[in-house]
């Protein structure tokens, strides 16, 4: 029993040494643009190693207009598991993980699970392994605003300013 406790303590120490220094401190800070992957008119984040619904091992927060992807969004952006892996890895061993900005309990993503296709709620052939498992990798998506949207916003603000100025001068 004593040896078992020593092993557990050693494992806990190893895990703490490998945890990033920013663990969970990014939840309320602006999302680092480096963790956002744009595919067509959609922006994707790998939001953590757990399903974005309860109960799971740390829910991915939906924030900054990022939401749970639909099957149509998955299929319009990725052909299969390999294309998701290619989009979210910088080297064979490093993933583009946004978990510190989105996950309520964990600050990592599991690259091996992604490579196996354990992608929460992803349709086949994208998700190929345990897609409804609470421990499947989670992704969130948002629509990239069209440039016309910004033009309309600027034009609307300009119109409001012109009306306000006109009312002031009369």
Residue percentage of the chain with pLDDT more than 70:
75
What is the rounded CA–CA span in Å between residue 87 and residue 79? 11
Please check whether residue 30 lies inside any domain of the structure.
Answer: yes
Pick from 1-15, 55-69, 119-133, 146-160 the range whose average pLDDT is largest: 119-133
Q: Tell me how many domains the chain contains.
A: 1
Distances (CA, A) of 2 to 5, 12, 145: 5, 16, 58
| Domain-located, residue 140 | yes
Q: Is residue 77 part of a domain?
A: yes
Q: Using an 8 Å Cβ cutoff, are 101 and 31 in contact? A: yes
**Do the domain assignments include residue 6?**
no
Residue 145: domain span: 25-159
pLDDT in tens, 86-145: 999 998 889 999 999 999 888 999 999 999 999 999 999 999 988 988 889 999 999 987
Give the residue with greater pLDDT, 133 vs 3.
133
> Distance between CA 49 and CA 59 in Å, rounded?
9
Please report whether residue 146 resides in a domain: yes
């Amino acid at each position: 029993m004593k040896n078992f406790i020593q092993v557990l303590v050693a494992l806990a120490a190893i895990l703490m040494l490998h945890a990033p220094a920013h663990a969970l401190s990014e939840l309320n800070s602006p999302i680092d643009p480096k963790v956002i992957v744009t595919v067509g008119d959609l922006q994707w984040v790998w939001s953590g190693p757990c399903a974005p619904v309860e109960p799971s091992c740390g829910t991915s927060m939906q924030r900054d207009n990022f939401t749970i992807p639909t099957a149509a969004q998955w299929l319009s952006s990725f052909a299969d598991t390999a294309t998701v892996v290619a989009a979210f890895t910088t080297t064979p061993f490093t993933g583009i993980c946004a978990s510190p900005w989105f996950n309520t309990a964990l600050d990592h993503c599991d690259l091996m699970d992604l490579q196996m296709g354990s992608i929460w709620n992803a349709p086949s052939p994208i998700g190929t392994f345990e897609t409804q498992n609470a421990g499947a990798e989670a992704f969130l998506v948002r629509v990239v605003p069209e440039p016309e949207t910004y033009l309309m916003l600027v034009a609307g603000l300009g119109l409001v300013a012109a009306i306000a100025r006109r009312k002031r001068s009369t």
